[in-house]
Amino acid sequence: AIILRTGIKITEELLSKAENLLTISRTGGGVDNVDLESATKHGIIVTSSLGVNTVSVVEHTMALILAVSKCIVLLDSEVRKGNFKIRYKNLPVDICGKTIGIVGFGRIGSGVADKCRYSFNMKVLAYDPFLPSERKREFENWVRFCELDELFGEADIISIHLPLNNQTKGMIDKKYISLMKTGAIIVNTSRGGVINERDLTEALSKKKIAGAGLDVFENEPPDPSNPLLKLDNVVLTPHSAALTKECVRRMAVSAVERVLMVFEGKMPPNIVNPEVLNLPKWKHLKR
């Protein structure tokens, strides 16, 4: 078995040599660092810790929303330089009563929506074409599901919660960023590759949008020459939304438990390549 963290890529080259490998168990929710097609071909069950990190990532998302809106990092830096008069520029803005647009309405996206609605009385827009209609009906009293261009044009805050795959790579580009209000901010705690970083950087540097909070990047770690590192209207964290003391423990325990289930001939939860179960070698799993 392999218990896999985010920074390591599992490729066909590796899997073709792992003759005795039964399962790959991710400590996180994303599996974009695993060649799923290859894993399935080699009869390897791949599982994720989906749901285990929800609370931590929701909290981190809210922290970034507040840090960007309240200019926390900039104001902290200015105070340390002795510029206490920065307070008179009235830079922070309130988020209470504003409109948030959530792209990807799974566990984390809906969790952020819940915090924004009930803690800050915000209006909630959402885009998720893959969310079943019955799930959408659960939120019909306080969430308005709409198209992506409408969401980007109306929201004061945009929060991205998308997996990285062939459909979402570079999905948030100039076409949508150009629709944002000049006072709007965007936050991404999912995967850096879903946003076209060059287009976002251009909008931020030219002040076409107010700011961004990014926990993830197209390339990690970001290159020292990345212009995002020099912008004072961006708050950056090192892909650490789920790396709280509590969440790291939960993810590790969950990953080990799923491995043990496979070893014991039991069906583990959160299998991301369920077609592998059609192979004769897995017919014995207790379902």
Among 12, 147, 220, 264, the one annotated catalytic: 220
- What are the structure tokens assigned to 248, written together? 């790291």
43-102 pLDDT per residue, tens: 999 999 999 999 999 999 999 999 999 999 999 999 999 999 999 999 999 999 999 999
Return the pLDDT at 229. Answer: 98
* Domains of the chain with CATH codes: 2-52+244-282 (3.40.50.720), 54-236 (3.40.50.720)
Whether the pLDDT of residue 7 is over 90: the answer is no
Is residue 239 part of the annotated active site? The answer reads yes
Separation between Cα atoms, residue 128 and residue 227, nearest integer Å: 31
Whether the pLDDT of residue 280 is over 90: the answer is yes
Separation between Cα atoms, residue 235 and residue 72, nearest integer Å: 9
Q: Which amino acid is at 163?
A: P
Return the pLDDT at 287. Answer: 80
Among 26, 60, 161, 239, the one annotated catalytic: 239
**Starting from the edge strand earliest in sequence, which strands make up the sheet with 45-47, in order?**
2-4, 23-26, 45-47
Mean pLDDT calculated for residue range 17-39? 96
The closest alpha carbon to 55, from 248, 185, 214, belongs to 248
Helix (H, G, I), strand (E, B) or coil at 266: strand
Separation between Cα atoms, residue 254 and residue 259, nearest integer Å: 9
139-197 pLDDT per residue, tens: 999 999 999 999 999 999 999 999 999 999 999 999 999 999 999 999 999 999 999 99
**Is residue 16 within a helix (H) or strand (E), and if so which, with residue range?**
none
Q: Identify the DSSP state of 28.
A: S
Q: What pTM did the predictor assign?
A: 0.93
Among 60, 107, 161, 191, the one annotated catalytic: 191
Separation between Cα atoms, residue 211 and residue 182, nearest integer Å: 9
